[in-house]
Amino acid sequence: MEKLIDAVRVLSVEIGPRGSASEAERRAAEYAAERLRRAGFEVKIEPFRGLTTFSLPYGLIYSGFVLAAPLYLLSPAASFALALLSLAAFLTEIHALPTLSRILPKGQSQNVVGVRRPQGEVKRRVVISAHLDSSKAALLWHPRMVAGFRRSFLTMVGAMLAIVLLGLVGLFLPLGRVWWAQLACSLYLGASVILLVHRELFMEHTPGANDNASGVAVLLAAAEELSDLQTTELWAVATGCEESGLCGMLAFMDAHRFDRENTYFINLDNCGAGRAAYITAEGVLLRYPSDAELLRLASQVVAEEGLDVEPRPYHTLTTDALVPLTRGHKAMGVMAFDERGVLPNWHWPTDTVENVDQTAMDNALRLVVGVVRKFDR
């Protein structure tokens, strides 16, 4: 079995930064597919069209709120309608229900889907996933600012709601204070638009060693180790375009139908630095609890094997686990966090192989393998 750190080096150094729907992402998919074929999986590379960046849909959504303030001077009704439409687009996109993104330009991407049947009768399926692409850096994730990312995000959501509510009030009251309050909120969101434009014009894709070469490394190692399952059909899925809006996992779930009672999803993301954790709930606004059975088995594995792994929720941004969770499937994420509860080197140029910790990946691997083996027994 190839060492975990060697897989991280192949993806983040030899292949390098892997933008969504890029040539480098395609080469990463070929590497994952070859590893899975050697491990005895039936492998398909499933193409799909995916966004190349999340800056486009969210930049347009935020711009809708910004334009609502000057539009109020011309037509309070049109201003309210634009703000309400922008809020609807934001809430659907952030909960893995693509609306605006469906009509935006896309690039060619792919998912790697490997399936290995058990030695006996299939009684359940376990889908282990990890995304191949790496994100562009942005000032939003500057090391001095990243600890307050969720606080800034919630403030931005508050500004959106305020613009909508002020627009509604403005339908019945004259101009004046309503407009000035709406303008203040729109200027705050305008700063977010500027940051997204700066990201696209001046920032580069990160090497993506922790996010998410580490997750892919653990996925491939687990797939190779779990070669003797008796009653569990194992799916190993390496997705594209996660960083641009969970496009790969959305395409995978659209292409395959799974029994909700006997299918379990384990997603691996940012497993290579800090203390490993199994995720108890996800969702940036609405809370989606992880599957109780997966959490129970994870707790047992941690206790029995003495792993340095903790349970914790993750509500800072979205991961591929959110897609099955929002569709009523049983899912759980595995990640790793620093002492502040932040993903180390998250979406920043320092996300290099030198800053990846073999111990964190080992703990994630032992956890995933242990959970799947408990299912199989």
Contact predicate 80/272, CB 8 Å:
no
Query: What is residue 2's predicted lDDT score, i.e. its pLDDT?
Result: 66
Concatenate the DSSP letters of all residues of 137-151 into one string. P-GGG-TTTGGGHHH
pLDDT at 50: 98
φ/ψ bin of 274: left (φ > 0), alpha (ψ from -120 to 50), beta (otherwise): left
Give the list of residues 6+ apart from residue 177 with CB closer than 8 angstroms, or none.
none
DSSP string, 297-313: HHHHHHHHHT--EEEEE
Q: Which of 109, 111, 108 minimizes the C-alpha distance to 45?
A: 111
> What DSSP element (H or E) covers 202?
helix 177-202
Owner of token pair 């206790």 = 303
pLDDT of residue 181: 86
- Both tokens assigned to 44: 């398909």
Residues 6+ positions from 176 with CB-CB distance below 8 Å:
none
Q: pTM of the full predicted structure?
A: 0.96
pLDDT of residue 175: 63
Spatial contact of 103 and 213, defined as CB atoms under 8 Å apart: no
Backbone φ and ψ of 268, nearest 5°: -115, 120
E strands, 143-250, are 232-239
Nearest to 267 by CA among 215, 328, 316, 209: 215
Mean pLDDT by 10 residues, the chain (377 residues): 88 98 98 97 98 98 95 92 97 96 97 96 97 97 92 95 92 75 92 97 98 98 97 98 98 96 97 97 97 98 97 97 98 97 97 96 98 94
User: How big, in percent rounded to 5, are the helix, strand and coil portions of the chain?
Assistant: 50, 20, 30
Q: What is the pLDDT of residue 1?
A: 52
- Within 10 angstroms of residue 149's Cβ, the number of other Cβ atoms is 18
User: Where is 46: in which H helix or E strand?
Assistant: strand 42-50
**Residue 174, class by beta-carbon neighbours within 10 Å (0-12 exposed, 13-18 middle, 19+ buried)?**
exposed
Structure tokens of 230? 């008796």
Q: How far apart, in whole angstroms, are the C-alpha atoms of residue 266 and residue 332? A: 5
Whole-angstrom distance, CA of residue 324 vs CA of residue 306: 29
Cβ–Cβ < 8 Å for 210, 356: yes
User: Locate tokens 């703000």: which residue?
Assistant: 83
From the list 253, 84, 96, the residue with the least C-alpha distance to 162 is 84
Asked whether 112 and 237 are in contact (CB, 8 A), the reply is: yes
String of DSSP letters for 221-239: HHHHH----SSEEEEEEEE
Give the per-residue pLDDT at 155: 95
Nearest to 243 by CA among 351, 372, 367: 351
67 exposure class (CB count in 10 Å sphere: 0-12, 13-18, 19+): middle
